[in-house]
């Protein structure tokens, strides 16, 4: 079996997690591993839209052999309850801050994939004392470039909402239009999570990036169609201490497309480098 395939197979078998209450919301989380060195910080992993603990197990498993790792089904996904009302990425970041406080974690490293990356950006910008180092993998948070096709879909969606006001025939037409123009994520979401999706898609977190003090590593798939590579390049420009690594041929789930490489990079950046610094300085 190739190395990347073996890493994926071994990593996807774990992670049922346990249910707990955080800020009044029942969430499923997993907490594995233990610090191996005085410089080690816990690592918190945040998944993307529509994902769950199992999807990020290729990230969690290799790191849990090095230090403590905490991951969860974010509210509204997997086995976790939905938020009490539609949330923004900043609302999710506040929730993660509450989770860290309840878990007794005063400082951690963060890994965020896709929409989890947008949450990590908000947390690192607004709560810099909480974040040691940051990995953004195919992260969301920048407003996409919109073309004619997108504007046409928006116009059709608005027409559908108007038709929905005209009784049952109008609602049937609205449903047909929605099935043609809406994303799979939108169609699969509950009404409350659809509003959350609308909010986070409309966000532009470019102004948050220059406020992030944490050393940051950006990992991107060259063939990512959901958060294209130009977004990673722009984030690298805006981050005070950021570096971009491109996985050639990988898509939006670059960490799963090339799991062994991602595991090596994340271990080096989050574990080995801080240990080297600690060894030279004699202090964390």
Name the percent of the chain in helix, strand, coil, to the closest 5: 50, 15, 35
Instruction: Give the tens place of pLDDT for each residue, 83-140.
Output: 999 999 999 999 999 999 999 999 999 999 999 999 999 999 999 999 999 999 999 9
Q: Which residues of the chain are in CATH 3.40.50.1820 domains?
A: 3-143+203-281
Phi and psi angles of residue 137, each rounded to the nearest 5 degrees, phi first: -110, 115
Q: Which of 3-7, 69-73, 78-82 has the lowest mean pLDDT?
A: 3-7
Residue 264, classified by CB atoms within 10 Å of its CB into exposed (0-12), middle (13-18) or buried (19+), is middle
59 pLDDT tier (thresholds 50, 70, 90):
very high
pTM over 0.85: no
- In words, the CATH class of domain 3-143+203-281 is alpha beta
Dihedral sign computed on CA atoms, order 143, 145, 151, 153: negative
With a cut of 50, say whether residue 22 has pLDDT above it.
Answer: yes
Q: What was the pLDDT predicted at 3? A: 37
Calpha distance 47→54 (Å, rounded):
10
DSSP string across 59-103? HHHHHTTTS-EEEE--TTSTTSPPPSS---HHHHHHHHHHHHHHT
Q: What was the pLDDT predicted at 187? A: 65
Query: Tokens standing for 122?
Result: 């908000």
């Amino acid at each position: 079996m190739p190395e990347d395939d073996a890493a994926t197979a071994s990593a996807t078998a774990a992670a049922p997690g346990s249910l707990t209450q955080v800020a009044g919301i029942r969430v499923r989380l997993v907490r594995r591993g233990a610090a191996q060195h005085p410089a080690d910080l816990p690592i918190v992993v945040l998944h993307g839209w529509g994902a769950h603990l199992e999807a990020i197990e290729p990230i969690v498993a290799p790191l849990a052999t090095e230090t403590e790792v905490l991951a969860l089904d974010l509210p509204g996904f997997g086995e976790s309850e939905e938020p009490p009302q539609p949330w923004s990425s900043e609302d999710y970041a506040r929730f993660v801050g509450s989770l860290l406080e309840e878990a007794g974690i005063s400082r951690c490293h963060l890994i965020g994939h896709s929409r989890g990356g947008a949450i990590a950006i908000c947390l690192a910008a607004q709560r810099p004392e909480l974040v040691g180092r940051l990995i953004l993998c195919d992260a969301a948070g920048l407003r996409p470039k919109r073309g004619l096709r997108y504007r046409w879909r928006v116009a059709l969606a608005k027409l559908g909402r108007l038709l929905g006001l005209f009784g049952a025939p109008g609602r049937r037409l609205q449903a047909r239009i929605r099935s043609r123009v809406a994303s799979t994520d939108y169609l699969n979401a509950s009404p409350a999570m659809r509003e959350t999706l609308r909010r986070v898609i409309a966000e532009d977190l470019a102004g948050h990036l220059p406020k992030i003090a944490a050393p940051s590593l950006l990992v991107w798939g060259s063939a990512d169609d959901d958060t294209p590579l130009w977004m990673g390049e722009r984030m690298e420009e805006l981050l005070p201490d950021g570096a971009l690594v491109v996985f050639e041929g990988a898509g939006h789930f670059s960490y799963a497309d090339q799991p062994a490489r991602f595991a090596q990079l994340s271990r080096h950046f989050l574990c080995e480098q801080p240990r080297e610094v600690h060894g030279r300085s004699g202090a964390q």
